[in-house]
Amino acid sequence: MESPDSGEIRLPSSQPSSVPSNSSSSSASTPHYIISAQDITADRDSPLGTTKRTGSVFKGLWNNSIVAVMVLSNETPVDSLFDRIQKWQSLRHPHVLQVFGVSAIDDDPPFIVSQYNPNENGQACISDYGMVELKPGSGCARYFSPEAWKGTISQPSDVFAFGMSAYEIFTSTPPWGVLSESHIYQLVVRENDRPDRPESTVEQKYGLTGDIWGIMEASWHKEATLRPTFSRIVNLWQMWSSEHGQVLLLLNQHETC
């Protein structure tokens, strides 16, 4: 790794089928998802963002391809990265950022190498998949379901988080604003409270309708088993776009899967 004063940071690599392989850095004893720090260059002059739950993300170069390099906190449990990497690499979807690999266990700081997505077409793309499981409680509390606060993470808790994410998209305001984690816990778990519906001027500005709000409310139901599945949400959303006004009725008739 380069000196802290250098504009470039040397980091590690993996061998996805969509990225040219580098046989010189391969080893029979090294898992394919481990990326050598010598194979990665991350440009600190090209930051892509910084988040509390992950760390700093930089534009980098690996195997002559432009990638995104997420430099993680030293507090990240590196062994958990290896538990997640195979799941991450199996994800193949145009709206899910592809993960190429992670650093070796003794690299400091640890990092993740993923697809670089400039998002020039304006389409949504999911990233940081599963990072809440690696470091819960660091900037993610606003998306936690009641059971997630108690350590249970499942598809229904993901549905709850989706509802909170939809709220943020359609109001341009993070759920619970600047409230502390302890305050959010009090509201969500003990008082069963949820964000208030915004004023009509905000709804008109961001395209929030009663149907979409109904999906949000169903998604953050207190009882995990009463939340709609993602397939149900997709069907309702598609139906809403073609048959406006029917989503709320169907949500009220929702059957637990």
How confident is the model over 184-238, as pLDDT tens digits?
999 999 999 999 999 999 999 988 888 899 999 999 999 999 999 999 999 888 8
Q: Examine the domain organization and report whether 2 and 125 are in the same domain.
A: yes
Calculate mean pLDDT across residues 163-179.
91
Q: Which residue has the higher pLDDT, 174 or 78?
A: 174
Q: Examine the domain organization and report whether 47 and 146 are in the same domain.
A: no
pLDDT at 256 over 70: no
Domain boundary among 74, 108, 131: 131
Give the lowest-confidence range in 15-29, 81-95, 154-168, 226-240. 15-29
Domain range for 213 is 140-257
Q: Examine the domain organization and report whether 78 and 1 are in the same domain.
A: yes
Do 12 and 37 form a contact (C-beta atoms < 8 A)? Answer: yes
Cis-peptide into 47, omega within 30 deg? no
Q: Examine the domain organization and report whether 256 and 160 are in the same domain.
A: yes
Residue 135: what pLDDT? 54
Q: Examine the domain organization and report whether 127 and 144 are in the same domain.
A: no
Residue 40: what pLDDT? 85
Q: In Å, how far are 2, 20, 66 from 73, measured between CA atoms?
A: 18, 28, 23
Q: Examine the domain organization and report whether 114 and 144 are in the same domain.
A: no
Residue 20: what pLDDT? 36
Question: How many folded domains does the chain comprise?
Answer: 2
Domain boundary among 72, 104, 131: 131
User: What CATH number did the domain enclosing 84 receive?
Assistant: 3.30.200.20
pLDDT at 126 over 60: yes
Do 100 and 35 form a contact (C-beta atoms < 8 A)? Answer: yes
Q: Which residue from 102, 2, 108, 116 is spatially nearest to 49, judged by alpha carbons?
A: 116
Q: Examine the domain organization and report whether 118 and 185 are in the same domain.
A: no
CA pair distance 38, 29, nearest whole angstrom: 17
Domain boundary among 131, 165, 180: 131
